[in-house]
């Protein structure tokens, strides 16, 4: 009986060792992907504040992608902080900048004649040339309420 238990424990241990690196990579990749949602949520808060400041209108100036798509992989997978990139009038109007290293390029696009906006994060988390995109669409309804619609394409890339 003890032999069987040892054999099963050894087998379970070997399986755990074999799967740990893959599980760790997946965990790290999903943690990195959380950046896009967190930053887009923050950016949506800034856009909402601008809607209030502009008497119920969305900002109309498109901006981004900032930094240029692919720049993060050129810098080892993580973009260094470059305050000059966030000095664009569009980002200044939203009072938005990133002050920490990041893995995504961000953009703001007004659509539907200014009644909606798309906040987009584009990144290549493993620098394999395949980009993941996370989008948050903000729709301004006639009552002045903002509706959020999230979508993503290959978010763990």
The pLDDT of residue 33 is above 70: no
- β partners of residue 18: none
Please tell me the distance from the alpha carbon of residue 134 to that of residue 151, in angstroms, as a whole number.
6
Spatial strand order of the sheet with 63-66 comes to: 63-66, 105-111, 116-123, 132-140, 146-153
Q: With a threshold of 0.85, does the pTM exceed it? A: no
Q: What percent of the chain has pLDDT over 70?
A: 79
């Amino acid at each position: 009986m003890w032999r069987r238990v040892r054999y099963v424990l050894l087998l379970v241990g070997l399986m755990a060792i074999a799967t740990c690196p893959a599980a760790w990579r997946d965990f790290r990749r999903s943690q990195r992907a959380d950046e896009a949602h967190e930053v887009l949520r923050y950016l949506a808060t800034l856009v909402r504040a601008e809607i209030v400041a502009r008497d119920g209108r969305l900002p109309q100036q498109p901006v981004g992608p900032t930094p240029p798509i692919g720049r993060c992989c050129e810098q080892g997978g993580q973009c260094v902080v470059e305050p000059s990139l966030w000095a664009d009038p569009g980002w200044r109007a939203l009072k938005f900048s990133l002050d920490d290293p990041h893995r995504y390029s961000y953009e703001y696009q007004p659509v539907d004649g200014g009644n909606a906006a798309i906040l987009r994060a584009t990144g290549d988390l493993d620098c394999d040339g395949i980009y993941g995109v996370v989008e948050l669409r903000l729709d301004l309804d006639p009552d002045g309420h903002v509706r959020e619609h999230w979508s993503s394409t290959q978010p763990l890339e």
